[in-house]
Amino acid sequence: MSQTFVVVGGGLAAAKAVEELRSAGFDGNVVVYGEEHHLPYERPPLSKGYLLCDDELESAFVHEPDWYDDNDVDLRLGQRVTGLDTAAKVVSTEGGTQAYDKLLLATGSTPRHLAMADESGAPVAYLRTIEDSQRLKESFTAEASVAIIGAGWIGLETAAAARKAGAEVTVLESLDLPLLRVLGPEVAQVFADLHTEHGVDLRLGVEVTAVEQQGGRAVVRLKDGGSVTADLVVVGIGVTPNVELAEAAGLETDNGVLVDEHLGSSDPDVLAAGDVANAMHPVLGRRVRVEHWDTAIEQGRTAAHAMLGHAPTYDRLPYFFTDQYDLGMEYIGSVGPDGYDEVVLRGDTTASGGRTFTAFWLKGDQVLAAMHANDWDATDHLRAIAGKRVETVRLRDESLPLADLAKDLTD
Ligand SMILES: Cc1cc2nc3c(=O)[nH]c(=O)nc-3n(C[C@H](O)[C@H](O)[C@H](O)COP(=O)(O)OP(=O)(O)OC[C@H]3O[C@@H](n4cnc5c(N)ncnc54)[C@H](O)[C@@H]3O)c2cc1C
């Protein structure tokens, strides 16, 4: 009898997993449950091309609408899986049950909510879905004022989009620099400068104490006694993994579904991939839960092979990208909880120099992470260098092309 593989979550990791199952020749039943009503889509355009009105929504969908039928994928949209019985190997929805041989949890994550904002009655928005992005798009006008709580990736990309639309933008961040935890002060400063130069009122080291509604607008109160009045408050303070189903089923969870380097959970027939997976990373030597596009794609693919019994190892270094105003960047690697010793910068981080540079986070002579801004030819070299031990003198020597350094490491 043919096997049935079920995927819970109709996002990017799910779509890539089922694509890989069919590419690898799996001819059993493939069922995907997605609680949203849209075909599986990519989220990066929601804070970039689509929000900026540069791209059509269609470009965000992972596959053409016909792809699922053409590939015999039973895509059950608008259906939330509410129960998982790992002993009986069955998932349940409001409408019924579905048995599985292998199950992939690709349930993604949900924006962390700020209760004081939600309960204020003021206009408050988050950004995760197509509908969220559409709402922001309509709100971002030249007449609007927007207060953004949180200067992480979502907050900053949203700020850039709102500024492009001509809105007045204030960003409120509790740390001393945007993206400080991810990038450290050396590179975080570049993003602070980028936004202030584009007219964002960037308020750093501030604490939001209350959000109030006044005449249909929002008033955000700060601990230092200041306040910001805006037509809309956008909250971007991180996400939490959607583990409810896994938890209720008794799977091991801790900041995500705990999976091994083959993406297998504590149940031999259940795997997890994408934002929800807290995976043991064999190269980094620790667990990582990565909330980025590339990991959703590549873990989705790896999970497909794991479902097929190939026991693949997921050892790809984390990768992410962002586009804000005229700055495009890619980052490969992970600094980790022990931090870094120094950052080596090559190129020019200033606006007048085009903000074209590369940065390397080092622990001793090991490159924990590497990034570039506006230097797209560097990507392959960064991939070769990230995670490796280098001669730091050579890395610092800007007269030595990165290509040579990378070549020596791969030879
Ligand atoms: C606005 C935005 C911009 C981003 N930009 C970038 C970027 O520039 N670069 C980058 O690297 N990353 C970016 N990301 C992150 C990237 O989009 C995510 O890492 C990626 O979407 C994760 O994919 P996923 O499939 O794991 O989860 P998701 O995309 O969250 O998909 C999970 C799906 O599962 C559904 N679901 C959950 N529970 C159930 C259930 N019980 N039953 C049925 N369905 C369920 C959810 O509704 C959701 O549709 C961005 C994210 C956002 C929100």
**pLDDT tens across 309-320, in order?**
999 999 999 999
**pLDDT for residue 12:** 98
Q: How high is the pLDDT of residue 327?
A: 97
Count of CB atoms situated within 10 Å of the CB of 288: 16
State the sign of the Cα–Cα–Cα–Cα dihedral 35, 258, 247, 338: negative
Averaged confidence pLDDT in the chain: 97
Within 299-406, strands assigned E span: 319-324, 327-333, 342-348, 356-363, 366-373
Q: Confidence band (pLDDT; 50, 70, 90) for 1?
A: confident
Q: Which run of H or of E encompasses 125?
A: strand 124-125
Give pLDDT, residue 53: 87
Would the pLDDT of 411 be above 70? no
Sign of the dihedral through C-alpha 52, 55, 58, 64: negative
Q: DSSP 3-state helix, strand, coil percentages of the chain (rounded to 5)?
A: 30, 30, 40
Nearest CA to ligand 1 atom 30: 108
Residue 225 has pLDDT above 70, yes or no: yes
Q: What pLDDT score does 138 carry?
A: 96
Mutation pick for ligand 1 pocket among 38, 275, 323 (CB with most ligand atoms within 8 Å): 275
CA of 399 to the centre of ligand 1 (A): 41
| Ligand 1 atom closest to the CA of 275, numbered from 1 | 26
CA of 6 to the centre of ligand 1 (A): 18
Nearest atom, ligand 1, residue 290 CA? 19
Read off the pLDDT band of 297 (50, 70, 90): very high
The rounded percent of the chain whose pLDDT value lies above 90 is 97
- The type of residue at 285 is G
Q: Of the residues 19, 43, 245, which should be mutated to test ligand 1's pocket, given the most ligand atoms within 8 Å of the CB? A: 43
d(CA 346, CA 348): 7
pLDDT tens sequence across 113-161: 999 999 999 999 999 999 999 999 999 999 999 999 999 999 999 999 9
Q: Is the pLDDT of residue 409 over 90?
A: no
**144 Cα–ligand 1 center, Å:** 28
| Alpha-carbon distances, residue 311 vs 143, 170, 271 (angstroms) | 55, 48, 11
pTM, two decimals, is: 0.97
